[in-house]
Structure 1
Amino acid sequence: MMNDFKTLRVLHEGPVLRVELNSPETGNAVSGPMLDELLAVLGALPDRPDVRVLILSGAGDHFCLGADRAEFAHISATDATGGRLRALGTKARQVCDALATSDAVTVARLHGSVIGAGVALAVFCDLRAGADNCRFRLPELALGMPPAWGGSLPRLIQESGAARIRELIMTGQNFDAARAAELSLLHKVVPEEGLDDAISAWTKPLVRRSATALRTTKVMMNAYASASRLADASLFDAELLTASVAAGRAGRR
């Protein structure tokens, strides 16, 4: 069943829900409307206990080129109070939290470029498979912003380690799929034509697992991997992003 979204293509296939970022003309840049639609899909999952696996992919040549820079520039130039930018940051955090805590096992299907917010969406998925032509980058610092999108910094550190992530953020260097696998940002690297088969090898056994056991396992793994919520500074990401943009704007006056 196809759903009527403007920035997503959603397909239900029994216990598998396929969600495709569907704005190829922008490189699937993550905009406010796309975040709203992702929240709508992810927010409906508690009412769909039959969905065991959610596969997140991107249409066109790239999985995701990052946050929508045109939208970001417009908001930062016209939103004197920072309220709209703060709301955008809050939505990003809610989407990433929903991917991590969904009862369904979330799987990222990556190809082409995976940049900034695209890395964040992928890293909050439980399993990640990438084509061998993938290129990754964390460009926030080079753009004059802190890495404060969706609460991704602690998740990246959990998955890859602080020293490795520090290098990638400080330098903003591009890295390929093989390097992403070394960093545990990818679980599988295959030729692009083999991506669907690689993901199918995961989904076939997952849909046969007990829904209760899957859900409990995700809760346990998230709890053991995460620091105390009280110590999670990424809760302030929206505030940090807004303050940073405001400071940059003041410095240009």
Structure 2
Amino acid sequence: MTALPLKSLPAGVIRQTLRTRRDGPVLTVELNTPEQGNAVTDALLDDLLAVLQDQDPAVRVLVLAGNGDDFCLGGDRGEFTRHLAHDPTGGGIRTSGNKARRVCDALTANPAVTIARVQGKAIGAGLALALACDLRVGSVDATFRLPELALGLPTAWGGLLPRLISEVGAARVRELVLTGRAFSAEEAHYLSILQRVVPTHELDAAVADWVRPIVRRPPAALRVTKTLLHSLSAASRMADVSALDAELLAAVLAESQHARGGS
């Protein structure tokens, strides 16, 4: 692989919550708070936005990974509680939810091909981040779950629900959301949430199997094809109301907080 000039992300850059590595046209972005299960916080969203907004146009593949045992354990509920304590009307939740949508949209509409490398657990917002990527490979022991309803939350984060329905189908998504049950990598593959399932020690090789042909494609044709695929997928989600995700999340949490305070 011929190395390309780096823009602003030399190999091994560590932000507050991320570690980035650049190898020619391939940029790896690793969620890097394993002691917290790589939980999604405002700081993580800020770091992801900064990386995606500053992305070198020469990057043709972006790999999203997670350091440690788990890809991502979902949103930080403690941070939600702190947001509500500071603003009971849900202003902080709204701000955070809007960041989440911008991050997921930036992954989906990224000019580079985005690959999610999933190991361990991918829960809630973690599943949303993976689903925003073009290609998704998971370890055979990976597990997935949408626990929002059991936690008193709507499934409204980063445009997850319309993406999930588009990829999986409404009937199956309805069952996963309403029961909140965990499901395996094998089932995720059957549902098209994952395109490949491999032993954990083969995850990097599986990513490399995808990267090798992609980086050989003519850059202009790759960009245009990625744009076409994104546009056609978006057209199939004409009833996408995920722009309201942040408002819905804030409203439900604020109402729950008010009910608890008044009981």
TM-score range relative to shorter protein = over 0.9
Displacement after TM superposition at 1:229 (Å): 7.7
Q: Matched residues in 2 for 1:205 and 1:89: separation?
A: 36
Q: For residue 153 of structure 1, what is the amino acid of its counterpart?
A: L
1:38 aligns with 2:48: yes
For residues 168 and 237 of structure 2, the distance between their equivalents in structure 1, rounded to whole angstroms, comes to 20
Asked whether the 8 Å contact 2:154–2:252 carries over to 1, the reply is yes
User: For the residues of structure 1 that align with 2:213 and 2:237, how far apart are their CA atoms?
Assistant: 32
Is the 8 Å Cα contact of residues 34 and 69 (structure 2) preserved in structure 1?
yes
- Structure 2 unpaired stretches of 5+: 1-10
Is 1:6 matched with 2:16? yes
Unaligned runs of 5+ in 1: none
Provide the TM-score with structure 1 as the length reference.
Answer: 0.96
Q: CA deviation at 1:89?
A: 0.2
Distance change (3 Å), C-alpha of 1:199 and 1:230: closer
Give the counterpart of 1:117 among 117, 125, 133: 125
- Inter-partner Cα distance in structure 2 for 1:229 and 1:90: 19
Q: What TM-score do you get using the length of structure 2 for normalisation? A: 0.93
Q: Give aligned-pair identity as a percent.
A: 55
- Report the AA paired with residue 184 of structure 1: S
- Equivalent residue of 1:148, what SS? coil
Structure 2 CA distance, aligned partners of 1:248 and 1:155? 27
2:154 and 2:235 map into 1 onto residues whose CA distance is 21
2-side partners of 1:5 and 1:172: how far apart?
A: 33
Instruction: Give the 5 Å matches for 1:166-205.
Output: 166-205=174-213
Distance between the aligned counterparts of 2:223 and 2:79, measured in 1? 36
- Counterpart of 2:30 (choices 20, 29, 42) is 20
- 1:4 is displaced (CA, Å) by 3.7
1:83 is matched with: 91
Counterpart mapping for 1:29-178 below 5 A: 29-45=39-55, 48-178=56-186
Task: State the alpha-carbon separation in 2 of the partners of residues 203 and 228 from structure 1.
Answer: 27
**C-alpha separation in 1, matches of 2:185 and 2:14:** 33
Aligned residue pairs, count: 251
- Give the CA RMSD over aligned residues: 1.2
Moved over 6 A (4+): none
Contact 2:162 2:237 in 1 (8 A): no
- Alpha-carbon deviations, 1:120-171, whole Å to 9, x = none? 0000000000000001000110100100000110000011001111100000
